[in-house]
A and B are shown apart, each in its own frame.
Chain A
């Protein structure tokens, strides 16, 4: 009973937040609604028993991905008036893209309904271990059966890290002169000051 109520509460909140993410005029508000929908999706995950996924949603999506989105929104200096001015001009293109996506969805669901997609029968090798908790099951599968995929994920993360550094890291523009403290201390007055007595009419050899 409570479970059903909580499900409808979280599901309604997810849909409402997602709709507001699209409809909000201010992109910063969009990101806030996106965070709200992530939280409610985490609630849905808990209801179906995927505790670890729920915690990942909160830690990774809310904690890191949403922050990245916020930074990107803040970095792009979007002129909203200009964006809205181009709305009517780009309207046909947007409608065309939406129609193509809708057609893909309909075709995909139709093919699945007609039985054209062979999804395979579970052979039981990835079945959850009875008596073990959710996170233990995930660990046993990820570091046992799917360990090569896990290593590939690590490589993808490495590529992403190097790519981000290559794309956004700027070298120091002009080196502001590195301070060599030993050289400064070792400098003596004789090295810096010359005491001369120039004769009248003759210059000084420096």
Chain B
């Protein structure tokens, strides 16, 4: 079963060309120096040469330090308001199709999230300190 596409995909062709060029350029920048160095340079590593002494000192600890749990709360609030903003786009363009019921729906939705925002504000979840 073949469904006729809803959108004209030829509009995306410039983006595809751009992606292909970007991928090709970044691959060239990564692999060309590696290839040139491999072909022209001498490659004979030894344990002393590869030790940290050549460029600093051994690491004291894992570079991945533990994050504060408050970042999680911020990311969670960000997701929710990000979704709210994403829902606003189809609502705004289809308002002449949905009319007043659609408008009231979105206002109720915004009110629900405004309650959440007020709660977060009151609890001090937006404060860092």
Contacts and interface: CB of A to CB of B under 8 A. Distances in A.
A131 to B, nearest CB: 10
Contacts of B116: 157-158, 161-162
Interface residues on B, range: 35 or more
Interface string A41-70: 000001111011001100110011101100
A100 interface: no
B22 interface: no
B28 interface: no
Given A49-B7, A132-B97, A168 B113 contact: no
B39 interface: no
Given A138-B90, A155-B112, A165-B125, A133 B7 contact: yes
B119 A165 contact: yes
Interface string A155-178: 101101110110011011000000
A64 B7 contact: no
A157 B98 CA distance: 23
Contacts of A171: 124
B113 to A, nearest CB: 6
Interface residues of A, number: 54
Given A129-B97, A151-B112, A46 B12 contact: yes
A188 interface: no
A2 B125 CA distance: 49
Contacts of B66: 74-75, 77
A64 B16 contact: no
A130 B46 CA distance: 69
Interface in B99-116: 101-102, 105-106, 108-109, 112-113, 115-116
A135 interface: yes
Interface of A: 2-3, 6, 28, 46-49, 51-52, 55-56, 59-60, 63-65, 67-68, 71-72, 74-75, 77, 128-129, 132-140, 142-144, 147, 150-151, 154-155, 157-158, 160-162, 164-165, 168-169, 171-172
